[in-house]
């Protein structure tokens, strides 16, 4: 058991009401499992993270990537620019 730090950017930060949150995890889990747990812990984000890119320890990962205690997770919503 341990904790992970989850960081939010852009409109997700506003919806969550905070820039980052520390979550408890029971052991290694997939990004998909972590997303579900995070949306349960912060209901205002429910359904809003599916289109986000996810970075674990500053590297983009897929849904099946494994998260461990001590990792830093970032949710980056789609953006455009030029």
pLDDT tens for 23-73 read 888 899 999 988 888 888 899 999 888 888 999 999 999 989 999 999 999
Nearest alpha carbon to residue 22 among 41, 40, 6: 6
pLDDT at 28: 92
- Topology given in CATH for the domain delimited by 2-76: Ubiquitin-like (UB roll) (3.10.20)
13 token code pair: 């930060």
40 token code pair: 């349960």
Q: Is 61:42 a contact under the CB 8 Å cutoff?
A: no
Question: What is the rounded CA–CA span in Å between residue 35 and residue 32?
Answer: 5
Taken in order 14, 18, 81, 51, the sign of the CA dihedral is negative
Is the model's pTM score more than 0.95? no
Q: Where are the domains of the chain?
A: 2-76
Query: Which residue, chain included where needed, has tokens 């993270």?
Result: 49
Which DSSP state fits 5? Answer: E
């Amino acid at each position: 058991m341990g904790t992970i730090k989850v960081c939010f950017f852009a409109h997700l930060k506003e919806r969550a009401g905070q820039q980052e949150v520390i979550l408890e995890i029971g052991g290694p889990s997939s990004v998909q499992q972590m997303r579900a747990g995070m949306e349960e812990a912060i209901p205002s984000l429910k359904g809003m993270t599916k289109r986000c890119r996810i970075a674990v320890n500053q590297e983009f990962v897929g849904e099946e990537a494994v998260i461990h205690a001590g990792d830093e997770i970032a949710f980056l919503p789609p953006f455009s620019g030029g």
